Chain A
Amino acid sequence: MVGELKVLYPNILEINLSDLSFEIYESENLFDKYMGGIGVGIELLNQHLQTGVDPLSPENVVIFAIGPLNTYFPVASKTCAVFKSPLTGNLGESYAGGRLSTAMRFNNLGVIILKGKSPEPIYFVSYEDGVQFVNAKPLMYMSPNTTGRIIREKIGHPGNRSVVTIGPAGERLIPYACATVDRTRHFGRTGLGAVLGSKNVKGFAIIGDQPISLESNTNYKQYRRVFREIYKKTTETNLMAKYHVLGTAAGILPLNALKSLPTKNFAESYFEEAENISGEYFASELLGKRVACGGCPIGCIHLAILRERWEKGTVADIHSIAVSYDYELIYALGSNLKIGNAKDILKLIEAIEKEGMDAISTGVVLAWLAEAYERNLISPKDTEGELIRFGRVDDFLSIIGKISKATEESELYYTASKGVEALVEKYGGNDFGIRVAKLEPAGYRTGYYAIMGFLVGGRHSHLDNAGYSLDQKVLNKPITFEQGMNSLMNEEEWRNVLNSMVICLFARGVYDMNTTIQALESLKINRTDEELLKIGKEIQRKRLQFKYAEGFSLKEAYQKFPKRFTEMMTAHGYLEKENFDKLLALYSKEAEKRYAIKVD
């Protein structure tokens, strides 16, 4: 059958895991109103999730959503996941690339909703005509990638599929467990892995083959022209050059030079050994190849080849594995742990990958442990004899598995498996407990806006509003605090629009307002500037509404700021408490004006 699909309004697949049933239905209204991605995701979360439920109970709901531009245009390659976060207790929101969005597109799925809890571990496969549930008990506690390989072999269908899996950490409900997509991409932040684990979902695969008629779904000529323009902007201008050459790891040396690279659990902002863990070093010494998400000509995914000799092996007893690295991983497992050897960082990435944990959170947890150990806040008895020292890769390698596998008997590791907030509550050490609103932050010590961005961001991620980038922009062009906070809020609203499309934010320079409007228009979706901005604002209002309804307290998160935030050197010098106070007051006032909700 020649595809005559209603692609502007793809289907919704709703799965009730409790009785392993599913339903596929249309919802034009929803996509019309909220575009897709986070717009549709947050609306559906509000509809399906009751306020106040335990994030790890069957009552939690997971929404995966793509948007209008996915697969139609270059670098519109992400899928948005929304759920209640077991780590922060409020908005769980995460984005991953790979081939998930293209598989959903070719399966004519705009949204997947997961509800309930399967009685036994399963994975499910979504074909075009329905869903199959497969017993996954024999796969329990396998690494995400082994699980993925097995699912791929079982279902066949090479090329046109995407496989999402969790590892042992997700099954053990570690609140910062991630879900791995197609081997190298992750729904990393805010704990989707644990939520899937709590639902007994070891993984899922989407298979899609349906062709989509461009004659009926696009203004074909305009579509091809806009496609070409976006492609050219993506590949021929320098808007995205940094991502394909050195990848995000390009940021290590510039941030270090700015005194903004978190080092030694954020105590320092400059790492003497940065050269040895820089994007330049990785690319020249370890990079094996680059790969791309489906429909992205950039290929920012940098895979290093790690050659490892077996313990006590001969020169020939060696194996090689491919490990993907990124800026955030190099900060979290390199500078922030004082690991100055690139290969050691790869070893840590691989160990964490096998457990299926978010590498940023894990790295910051490890850094807290090392500092607490150094300060004798935790004793060798607590660590069960393990040494936990900055700069020692073997120390960290031997406790990653302990954290992932910890039971209540081993108190320290069990607490560590709940995140920095839990460690601080149990052992103290708030002064150096690096987290904002319970989320371990990304690697930026750039100045006020990075930290305020974490605090006020909908999901407390650096990608919410890119405060780290604003800090760098205003270095030579000072602005008032009021302008700064406004700029953060505008950025977050605009990102809500892009996250509804759902483009990769690395391409945000390509998708400016005009380009986005034209791309939509070629798909017969007519929107004006004001309409898009209004949608962005409305999404922000809903995200915040969700958080506050779930009990998020801005004041409390602010009061828990570790003292270190005001003791650390940044690109803007030392930060002062009074200024944070001012910024927060400015934000609250403006947010109440913009979103007509009480933020406190």
Chain B
Amino acid sequence: MGKRLRVKNLDRCIGCLECVYACSRTNEKLLSNYRSSITVKASGGIERNYVVVVCRGCRSPPCAPACPIPGAIKPRQGGGVIVDREICDASKCNQECIEACPIPGAIHIDVDINKAIVCRQCGACVQYCSTGVLVMEEATGEW
């Protein structure tokens, strides 16, 4: 069983963006702050905490069956989904996956390639989170 990414200690986040860069560096071969599956935002003023927005790795993901294009997005063993970039095409659907996911921003459209971008549970970001906010864990529990 694969592990999935968890935002375990959100309150510890220092807003360094290393996870964001790690994701785009490893998975997109890009240096980018938005072509990444993980986003870090301030939650209103630096005094408050940061928010890490990323897919929660559902074991029965509502985003996948909502997609009208067969094979574009499939549940992944161990939680979460895998987007097939050969098939996914955001211009040929109504972006139903985004609509179906209750977490705003967890899955979004990479406008440069017009495809859904979502965490593939690879764990690259975890290696670059110096504060232990992010961990890879075996999926347990109900979701």
Whether B59 sits at the interface, judged by CB under 8 Å, is: no
Contact (Cβ within 8 A) A211 B35: yes
Contact in complex: B31, A211 (CB < 8 Å): yes
Chain A contacts for B31, CB-based, 8 A: 7, 71-72, 105, 211-212, 214, 217
Task: Please give, as numbers and ranges, the residues of chain A lying within 8 Å of B47 by CB-CB distance.
Answer: 288, 303, 321-322
Is A214 a contact of B16 with CB atoms below 8 Å?
A: no
Given contacts A106-B33, A160-B34, contact A227 B17 (CB under 8 A): no
Q: A183 near B46 (CB under 8 angstroms)? A: yes
Contact with A along B4-21 (1 / 0, CB 8 A): 000000000011111001
Does B46 contact A184, Cβ atoms closer than 8 Å? yes
Residues of B within 8 A of A321 (CB): 47
The answer for the CA separation of A292 and B15 in the assembled complex, in Å, is 6
Nearest B residue to A183 via CB reads B46
B77 at the binding interface (Cβ < 8 Å):
no
| A297 to B15 CA separation, bound complex (whole angstroms) | 9
Q: For chain A, residues 281 to 324, give those with C-beta under 8 angstroms from any C-beta of chain B.
A: 288-299, 303, 321-322
Residues of B within 8 A of A235 (CB): 130
Min CB distance A136 to B, Å, is 21
- Does the CB pair A3–B128 fall under 8 Å? no
Q: Is the CB of A3 within 8 A of B30?
A: yes
Contact of A297 among B16, B25, B28, B34 (CB under 8 A): B16
**Is B46 touching A160 in the complex (CB atoms < 8 A)?**
no
Residue in B17, B26, B131 with the greatest tally of chain A CB atoms within 10 Å: B17
Contact across chains for A296 and B16 when beta carbons are under 8 A apart: yes
Cβ contacts under 8 Å, A589 to chain B: none
CA distance A291 to B43 in the complex (A): 13
B103 surroundings in chain A (CB, below 8 A): none
* In contact, A231 and B128 (Cβ under 8 angstroms): yes
Contacts of B30 in A (CB 8 A): 3, 211-214
Q: Are A291 and B45 neighbours in the complex by a CB distance under 8 Å?
A: no
With both chains docked as a complex, state the minimum distance between the C-beta of A417 and any C-beta of chain B, in angstroms.
Answer: 29
Q: Does B85 contact A (CB under 8 A)?
A: no
- Asked if B122 lies at the interface with its beta carbon under 8 angstroms from chain A, I say no
CB of B32 within 8 A of CB of A303, answer no
Inter-chain CA distance A591–B24, complex, in Å, is 47
Q: Among the interface residues A1, A235, A289, A322, which one has the most CB atoms of the partner chain B within 10 A?
A: A289
Which of B24, B29, B49 has the most chain A CB within a 10 Å cutoff? Answer: B29
| CB neighbors of A among B110-143 (8 A) | 112-113, 128, 130-131
* CB pair B18 A159 closer than 8 Å: no
> Does the CB pair B34–A294 fall under 8 Å?
no
Interchain CB contact under 8 A, B113 and A213? no
B16 / chain A contacts, CB cutoff of 8 Å: 292-299
In the assembly, what is the distance between CA of A184 and CA of B21, in Å?
A: 22
Would you give the 0/1 interface string for B83-112, flagging 1 where the beta carbon is closer than 8 Å to chain A?
000000000000000000000000000001
**Does A129 reach chain B (CB closer than 8 Å)?**
no
Complex interface: chain B residues within 8 A of A275 (CB): none
Interface string of B36-62 (1 = CB under 8 A from A): 000111100111010000000000000
Residues of chain A within 8 A (CB-CB) of B46 are 182-184, 291, 303, 322
Q: Complex Cα distance A158/B54, Å?
A: 16
Partner of B28, one of A211, A217, A289, A294: A211
Instruction: Decide yes or no: A295 and B24 within 8 Å by CB, A183-B46, A220-B29 being known contacts.
Output: no
Find out whether the CB atom of A290 lies under 8 angstroms from the CB atom of B14: yes
**Are B34 and A211 in contact (CB-based, < 8 A)?**
yes
Complex CA–CA separation, A289 to B26 (angstroms): 29
Closest beta carbon of chain B to A523's beta carbon, Å: 10
**Contact in complex: A291, B34 (CB < 8 Å):** no
In the bound complex, residues from chain A placing their C-beta under 8 Å from that of B33 are 102, 106, 159-160, 208-209
Write the nearest CB–CB distance from B37 to chain A, whole angstroms. Answer: 14
Asked if A563 is at the interface (CB within 8 A of a chain B CB), the reply is: no
A2 on the B face (CB < 8 A): yes
Once bound together, how far apart are the Cα atoms of A212 and B41, in whole Å? 21
B28 to chain A, nearest CB (A): 7
Once bound together, how far apart are the Cα atoms of A514 and B29, in whole Å? Answer: 25
Are A158 and B34 neighbours in the complex by a CB distance under 8 Å? no
CA distance A322 to B42 in the complex (A): 15
On chain B, the residues within 8 Å of A408 by CB distance are: none
CA distance A536 to B49 in the complex (A): 40
Chain B residues within 8 Å of A217, by CB:
31
CB neighbors of B among A132-173 (8 A): 149, 158-160
**B21 with A295: CB separation less than 8 A:** yes
Q: Report the minimum CB–CB distance from A518 to chain B (whole Å).
A: 17
Question: With A158-B42, A231-B128, A303-B47 in contact, do A291 and B14 touch (Cβ < 8 Å)?
Answer: yes
**What is the bound-complex CA distance between A419 and B24, given in angstroms?**
47
Which of B15, B29, B45 touches A149 (beta carbons < 8 Å)?
B45
92-108 of chain A: CB within 8 A of chain B: 102, 105-106
Q: How far is the CB of A237 from chain B (nearest CB, A)?
A: 12
CB <8 Å contact, B112 and A2: yes
Give the interface of A toward B (CB within 8 A): 1-3, 7, 71-72, 74, 102, 105-106, 149, 158-160, 182-184, 208-215, 217, 220, 224, 227, 231, 235, 288-299, 303, 321-322
**A-B interface, 5 closest residue pairs, ranked by CB to CB distance from nearest:** A211-B32, A299-B14, A292-B16, A322-B47, A297-B130
Known A72-B31, A209-B34, A292-B14; further 8 A-B contacts with Cβ < 8 A? A2-B113, A149-B45, A159-B40, A182-B46, A213-B30, A292-B17, A297-B18, A303-B47
28 contacting pairs across A/B (C-beta < 8 A)? A2-B112, A2-B113, A71-B21, A106-B32, A106-B33, A158-B41, A159-B40, A159-B42, A160-B33, A211-B24, A211-B32, A212-B30, A213-B29, A213-B30, A215-B29, A220-B29, A224-B26, A231-B128, A235-B130, A289-B14, A292-B15, A292-B16, A293-B16, A295-B17, A297-B130, A299-B130, A303-B46, A322-B47
